[in-house]
A and B are shown apart, each in its own frame.
Chain A
């Protein structure tokens, strides 16, 4: 017998995440104070770095784009009751797909090679997620364990490929050659220039629009289609799904592939949108941040958009901050991210009871 939650819906949806975020920032502020910096000044620097000038905004949105994809990836699996921790590895492998297409076919015009690369990113990401999905559905191997292991396998595989096979001939750096320009996804400032608008030069590219479209498509697929209906039924109540005659194993496998494909698109943003070559560190934890983005965004596209923006801003603002304040290292930013994940994820319901009490007091009066 559980007591029904006494919180109104809007408080659960908005007030609690806001409080959690605030608590995380408060603790970060404490740490910053401890190392002898002024937290308020740091926060100002960070916000200014993320949103204060056009270039900053461009970078913020560029990071946001990748986070939207990996966030959606986690959410997709989550709706099927699966916790996909493997976004990082799936994105990594998707990068391989993109790279193979580009290295092999980038003599072709952009309108051929870019769609092919997009397709390859999704297929490689999906394939890498398919195996844990299959193992979960048919063998009962826990998806959390397998996806984590697959991250390591992906990392080892890619290191070997980059160091031994795909490395640019004659180079010492484990990175491929630059892709031909036909395979580059147009930057936003280039597109704007065509329209006669001058924007600062940032890696923000057309993939951003693809991310926004993905949010809408995700919503329609998950909440408005028969496919999403079976996905959510399996996720919420597997017994009911069996009762309804849904092919549970298949749904689980397809959900993982869908998830992997979404994670794969993040590789497109990084490789075709920004670096235009593959290097060892291009995933840079983006797959893991996706977990936090989905958790904070309550696995809903709108929430994911907001939380991806938050993490994008944190990344960009954090970088700016560490330029200004040498005492604030990259690790400090990771710490802040970690605290946000801790408060918004693991300690999600920390404020539920006190809030419920507060509401009770208010309604009594």
Chain B
């Protein structure tokens, strides 16, 4: 048996009554790429936080290179050769790459000395691992993929032998992800150990040597990647048979519901966030907007839902011009009244109020409806009844209308939002990242509901950074890059490579 880099035995972690990690035991071979997959809330992050010293395990032991260790904090972890690349980068935007890498690892009093020494070391690392990062570039001016490489360099500079990557591809185009995988393979070839946390099954199958599958705080499988397929992993993760294939009947597009023409948005600094965007959307079809996040999709959704004013252009909805709609109430309210529902991208910050009880969130945006008023007060009974209906129709768990929304898992929060928006019987549904941070079981359910909505003749505009999702749901795909529509194609002609090129603006 190969030498082990990490060995965990019987690790337990409690948060109050929540048993976040139950008796976790697994081993990672030295010089391998090891995937850890599981749905949201399965305990992956907690486990990694224990490895990186953010949390202390309540019981159990950790062995590094055969030696039992206690990792008290992240400093400890770094000293023992564990490096972590977080999902959200921990970089100072205004510093150069070099300064960022030295930050926190300076030696001696004079900064200049550290920087000089680091520069040499960095050049070696850059060469050895093919990272191709310019040490003098300002981090804020780098692309996301490069910033991620800076994070990797940072860890390597601190002498990491074990590298933990938390959902590293969430912000990357397919091409950038391929680049990352190339680097990871190089790292592996040089004897480094890589722990990859992800929920994307395809990636796990692509690059890992072994996979640990977690569910509800427990390990439900330790498998060799070569022995398993996508369906096996999905079934393990969810704990039941999952149907990843969506039944998709051919679309029967009807009349045009939404006509967007030459829509532009310029921010206060004069940056064009949206540049001459035009497309149409018909009843009974799903149009997917693909793109790396931050390329104008969010702004587009905000304008179409009335949360933001466009700088120029027109939006025609069922024959009504929306940009100049005469209304005294905020536009978001007026649009909703016209039958435009909106599932926002940022679920927990826009779609609901975390501190509200679920029944209160069940009427967010629809709180003016006469049906739930009772004189000057709310008709509390009607609201709670409505929420209970949502909960049963959308299988929200736990089925408690009084529970604070923030305590529900992402998938269950999303179900409540979706139930609320679908219940309003919209003509046009704007959906942003419907399954971000949502577990597989719920993804299946949400996709089915969206498909049903389309088959019922509604027009759906779907914004997602998950290409698989765009490909699975859309009838037509619009690709956005730097605020512009860089391509439009029917789903039958779309491949991941083609879309990736359009997303990167290379075409």
B86 → chain A closest CB, angstroms: 10
- Bound CA span A40–B307, Å: 60
* Contacting residues, chain A, for B207 (C-beta < 8 A): none
A221-235: which residues lie under 8 A (CB-CB) from chain B? Answer: 224-226, 229-230, 232-233
Q: A3-B15, A237-B354 are in contact. Are A229 and B336 (CB under 8 A)?
A: no
Residues of A within 8 A of B332 (CB): 242-245
Cross-chain contact A247 with B329 (CB below 8 angstroms): yes
Known: A6-B16, A224-B380, A245-B306. A240 touches B349 (CB 8 A): yes
B349→A224 contact, CB < 8 A: no
B351 touches A243 (CB 8 A): yes
Is B151 interfacial (CB 8 A cutoff)? Answer: no
Closest to B15 in A: A4
The reply to whether B378 and A225 form a contact with Cβ atoms under 8 Å apart is yes
A-contacting 9-mer, from B98-106, B155-163, B364-372? B364-372
Check A225 against B329 for contact (C-beta < 8 Å).
no
Report chain A residues within 8 Å CB of B354.
Answer: 236-237
**Which A residues are CB-close (under 8 A) to B355?**
236-237
Cα distance A3–B330 in the bound complex, in angstroms: 37
Residue in A1, A4, A220, A233 whose beta carbon sits within 8 Å of that of B364 in the complex: A233
Q: Across the interface, do A242 and B307 meet the contact criterion of CB distance under 8 Å?
A: yes
Residues of B within 8 A of A4 (CB): 15-16, 18
Residue contact A224 to B377, C-beta cutoff 8 Å = yes
Q: Mark A34-63, 1 if CB is under 8 A from B, else 0.
A: 000000000000000000000000000000
Q: Known contacts A1-B49, A244-B332, A246-B330; is A239 also within 8 Å of B360 by CB?
A: no
Query: How distant is B15 from chain A, measured CB to nearest CB, in Å?
Result: 5
Please tell me if B501 contacts chain A, counting CB pairs below 8 Å: no
A198-253: which have CB < 8 Å to B?
220, 224-226, 229-230, 232-233, 236-237, 239-240, 242-248
Q: In the complex the two chains form, what is the Cα distance from A212 to B365 in whole Å?
A: 33
List A contacts of B336 (CB < 8 A): 245
- Give the distance to chain B from A236, nearest Cβ to Cβ, in Å: 5
Cβ distance B370 to chain A, nearest Cβ, rounded Å: 11
Q: Are B350 and A240 in contact (CB under 8 A)?
A: yes
A245 CA / B340 CA spacing, docked (Å):
12
Known contacts A237-B353, A245-B329: does B344 contact A224 (CB below 8 Å)? Answer: no
A225 to B367, CA, bound (A): 10
Cβ-defined contact, A245 with B356, below 8 A: no
- A230 to B367 Cα, complex, angstroms: 8
Q: How many residues of A contact B (CB 8 A)?
A: 24
From A226, A237, A242, A243, residue with most partner B Cβ within 10 Å: A243
Q: How far is the CA of A243 from the CA of B331 in the complex (A)?
A: 10
* Inter-chain contacts of A245 with B (CB < 8 A): 306, 329-336, 365
B54: chain A residues at CB < 8 Å are 1
Closest B residue to A226 by beta carbon equals B367
Q: How many residues on chain B are close to A (CB under 8 Å)?
A: 39
- Tell whether, in the assembled complex, residue B18 and residue A244 are in contact, meaning their CB atoms are under 8 Å apart: no
CA distance A236 to B353 in the complex (A): 7
A229 in contact with B360 given A1-B45, A246-B330 (CB within 8 Å): yes
Contact B377 A220 (CB under 8 A): yes
Closest to A225 in B: B377
Over the window 245-263 of chain B, the binary record of Cβ atoms lying under 8 Å from chain A Cβ atoms (1 yes, 0 no) is 0000000000000000000
Smallest beta-carbon distance A216→chain B, Å = 12
Q: Complex: how many Å from CA A170 to CA B344?
A: 68
User: Which of B334, B336, B378 counts the most A-chain CB atoms under 10 A from its CB?
Assistant: B378
Closest to B333 in A: A245
Least CB distance from B416 to A in Å reads: 13
Answer whether residue B352 sits at the interface, using C-beta atoms and an 8 A cutoff: yes
When distances are taken between beta carbons in the complex, the residues of chain B under 8 Å from A242 are 307, 330, 332, 350
Q: Does B109 contact A (CB under 8 A)?
A: no
Given the complex of chains A and B, what is the CA–CA distance between A246 and B366 in angstroms?
A: 10
**How close is B4's CB to chain A, nearest CB, in angstroms?**
28
- Check A236/B349 contact, CB under 8 A, given A6-B15, A243-B332, A245-B329: no
A244: which B residues are within 8 A, CB to CB? 332-333, 364-365, 367
CA–CA, A243 to B353, complex, Å?
11
Instruction: Name A247's contact: one of B16, B330, B363 (CB within 8 Å).
Output: B330
Please tell me if B476 contacts chain A, counting CB pairs below 8 Å.
no
- Shortest B2–chain A CB gap in Å is 32
Assess whether B330 is in contact with A243, with CB atoms less than 8 Å apart. no
Contact between B378 and A224, CB atoms less than 8 A apart:
yes
Q: How far is the CA of A226 from the CA of B307 in the complex (A)?
A: 21
Q: Are A226 and B373 in contact (CB under 8 A)?
A: yes
Least CB distance, A111 to chain B, in whole angstroms: 26
Nearest-CB residue, chain B, relative to A220: B377
Nearest B residue (CB) for A230: B367
Binary per-residue interface labels of chain A (300-313) against chain B in the complex, 1 for a CB within 8 Å, 0 otherwise: 00000000000000
Contact check, B356 vs A236: say whether CB atoms are below 8 A apart.
yes
Interface residue B388 (Cβ < 8 Å from any Cβ of A)? no
Q: Bound complex: CA of A220 vs CA of B375, how far in Å? A: 12
Minimum C-beta distance from A2 to chain B (A): 10
Q: Which residues of B contact A229 (CB under 8 A)?
A: 360, 363, 367, 378
User: Known contacts A4-B18, A246-B330; is A239 also within 8 Å of B365 by CB?
Assistant: no
Interface bits B321-357 vs A (CB < 8 Å: 1, else 0): 0000000011111111000001010100111111110
Query: In the complex, A242→B344 CA distance in Å?
Result: 11
8 Å CB contact of B350 from A3, A243, A246: A243
Cβ of B376 within 8 Å of any chain A Cβ, yes or no, is yes
| Nearest CB on B from A79, distance (A) | 11
Question: Contact mask B2-38 → A, CB, 8 Å, 1/0?
Answer: 0000000000000110100000000000000000000
Chain A nearest CB from B352 CB (Å) reads 6
Q: Whose C-beta in chain B lies nearest to the C-beta of A360?
A: B16
Q: Could you tell me the distance between the alpha carbons of A230 and B354 in the complex, rounded to whole angstroms?
A: 15
B307 near A243 with CB under 8 A, answer yes
- Residues of chain A within 8 A (CB-CB) of B378 are 224-226, 229
CA gap between A226 and B360 in the complex, in Å: 11
Other A-B contacts than A236-B353, A240-B353, A245-B306, 19 sampled, CB-CB below 8 A, are: A4-B15, A4-B16, A225-B376, A236-B354, A236-B355, A237-B353, A237-B355, A239-B349, A240-B351, A242-B332, A243-B307, A243-B365, A244-B367, A245-B336, A245-B365, A246-B333, A247-B329, A247-B330, A248-B330
Can you offer 9 A-B residue contacts whose CB atoms are under 8 A?
A6-B16, A224-B378, A226-B373, A236-B355, A237-B350, A240-B350, A242-B332, A245-B306, A245-B330
- 6 tightest Cβ-Cβ pairs between the two chains A and B: A245-B333, A245-B332, A244-B365, A6-B16, A243-B350, A237-B353
- A→B interface (CB under 8 Å): 1, 3-6, 220, 224-226, 229-230, 232-233, 236-237, 239-240, 242-248
